[in-house]
C-alpha cells in the first residue's frame, strides 16, 4: 500500500498560533496531542515530499521520520509556510554525514528563485545535491525515484552511502490553485503511483488528490479532473484545504462547508474510489475547533481531519 504521512496539518500561523491566547489556542495547549499542528506538509511513501515548510526539522524529530530517502519534492507555492528555503541548505556538505541521493525539486519559477537564495547568497543546485525543475499549473509529470543510489561523488571515500529505496514511478497532474498572486503559480496535485511494490497487483494505481492552499476549484481545474476521470483516475484519498473552518466561505482558502462540497462533488463525478478516505486539511485556529470537536463535526459527512503524524494507507 502507498503510505501518506501528514508531517504537518496547520495553517501559516500554526495551531495553537504562536502569539495567541484565544480559546481555541488555549484549549489546544491544554489538551495537546492531535490538537497541536505544525505547518502543513506531507510525505508519500518515504521518497516523495510535498511542501518542505518551516517545521521540517521539528516534524522529523517529533515523528521519528527519516527524510534521507526523499528523492523528489513537489512545492505548491512559495509562501513561507509551505516552502522554507533553508530546508535545502542543510543538504550541503558539512551538514550531513550521508552521501545523499540527488533530489529532484518540482516547483514554480517563483519557488525555485526562493530555493536558490539563502541569507543573501546565491545557492547552486549542485551544492544542495538537487536538480531544479520549473513547472506550472496544468502540466503532466512523471517522477521516478529509487533504484540504484546516486551519491554525490564529492563526498569522501568511506562516507555512509545513501539509502536504497525501491524503484517507483509517479504520474502527477498539476492543477492551478485559487490562491496567492498569479506570478507565484500556486498549484495542487493529483498523484498516482504507477510502478513500484505498492502498485503491484492492484486493479488500479493508488491515487491521491492533495489540494491545500486553494479556494474553490476553478472551472479549468474541474475540467482537468473530469478528464482524469475519463482516463480512469479514481482517488483513494483526498486532502482538501479547510483553512477557514467554521468561518465564512473564502476565495483563496476554503471553509469546512466548501471543503465538504468539493468532496461530495468529486464523489458525484465518480472521481473517488469505493473505499476513498476523505480528509479535511490545513487548519487555522481562527475558525477551526479543537481536534475532538472537529472530528465530531465532520463524522456525519464521512470526512476525517488530518493531524500531525496521521498515516493513511492507500
pLDDT 10s digits, 43-94: 999 999 999 999 999 999 999 999 989 999 999 999 999 999 999 999 988 8
φ, ψ at 167 (rounded to 5°): -70, 125
Confidence of residue 264 (pLDDT cuts 50, 70, 90): very high
Cα distances (Å, whole numbers) of residue 303 to 28, 34, 238, 242, 250 = 21, 16, 10, 12, 20
Show the cell assigned to 42: 506531507
For residue range 167-195, what is the model confidence (pLDDT) as tens digits?
999 999 999 999 999 999 999 999 999 99
For residue range 201-213, what is the model confidence (pLDDT) as tens digits?
899 999 999 999 9
| Closest residue by Cα to residue 85 from 52, 129, 132 | 52
The whole-number pLDDT of residue 100 equals 80
- pLDDT exceeds cutoff 80 at 130: yes
**Is 0.85 topped by the overall pTM?**
yes
Query: Where are the domains positioned within the chain?
Result: 3-313
Q: How many helices (H) and strands (E) does the chain have?
A: 7, 16
3-313: CATH topology: Metallo-beta-lactamase; Chain A (3.60.15)
What DSSP designation does 271 have? -
What residues does 240 pair with on adjacent strands?
Answer: 211, 280
Say if residue 92 is exposed, middle or buried (CB neighbours under 10 Å; 0-12, 13-18, 19+): middle
Amino acid at each position: 500500500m502507498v503510505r501518506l504521512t501528514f508531517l504537518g496539518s496547520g495553517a501559516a500561523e500554526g495551531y495553537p498560533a504562536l502569539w495567541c491566547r484565544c480559546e481555541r489556542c488555549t484549549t489546544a495547549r491544554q489538551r495537546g496531542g492531535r490538537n497541536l499542528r505544525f505547518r502543513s506538509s506531507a510525505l508519500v511513501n518515504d521518497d516523495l515530499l510535498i511542501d518542505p515548510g518551516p517545521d521540517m526539522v521539528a516534524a522529523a524529530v517529533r515523528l521519528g521520520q527519516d527524510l534521507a530517502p526523499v528523492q523528489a519534492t513537489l512545492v505548491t507555492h512559495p509562501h513561507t509556510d509551505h516552502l522554507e528555503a533553508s530546508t535545502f541548505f542543510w543538504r550541503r556538505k558539512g551538514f550531513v554525514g550521508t552521501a545523499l541521493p540527488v533530489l529532484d525539486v518540482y516547483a514554480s519559477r517563483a519557488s525555485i528563485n526562493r530555493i536558490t537564495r539563502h541569507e543573501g547568497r546565491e545557492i547552486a543546485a549542485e551544492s544542495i545535491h538537487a536538480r531544479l525543475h520549473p513547472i506550472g499549473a496544468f502540466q503532466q509529470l512523471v517522477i521516478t525515484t529509487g533504484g540504484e543510489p546516486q551519491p554525490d561523488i564529492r563526498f569522501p571515500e568511506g562516507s555512509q552511502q545513501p539509502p536504497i529505496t525501491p524503484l517507483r514511478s509517479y504520474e502527477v497532474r498539476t492543477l492551478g490553485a485559487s490562491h496567492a498572486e498569479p506570478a507565484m503559480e500556486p498549484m495542487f496535485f493529483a498523484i498516482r503511483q504507477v510502478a513500484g511494490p505498492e502498485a503491484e497487483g492492484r486493479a488500479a494505481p493508488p491515487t491521491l488528490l492533495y489540494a491545500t492552499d486553494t479556494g474553490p476549484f476553478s472551472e479549468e481545474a474541474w475540467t482537468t479532473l473530469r478528464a482524469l476521470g475519463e482516463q480512469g483516475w479514481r482517488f483513494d484519498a483526498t486532502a482538501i484545504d479547510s483553512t477557514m473552518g467554521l468561518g465564512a466561505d473564502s476565495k483563496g482558502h476554503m471553509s469546512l462547508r466548501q471543503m465538504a462540497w468539493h468532496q461530495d462533488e468529486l464523489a458525484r463525478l465518480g472521481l473517488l474510489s469505493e473505499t476513498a478516505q476523505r480528509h479535511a486539511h490545513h487548519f487555522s485556529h481562527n475558525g477551526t475547533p479543537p481536534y475532538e470537536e472537529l472530528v465530531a463535526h465532520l463524522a456525519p459527512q464521512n470526512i476525517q481531519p488530518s493531524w500531525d503524524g496521521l498515516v493513511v494507507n492507500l
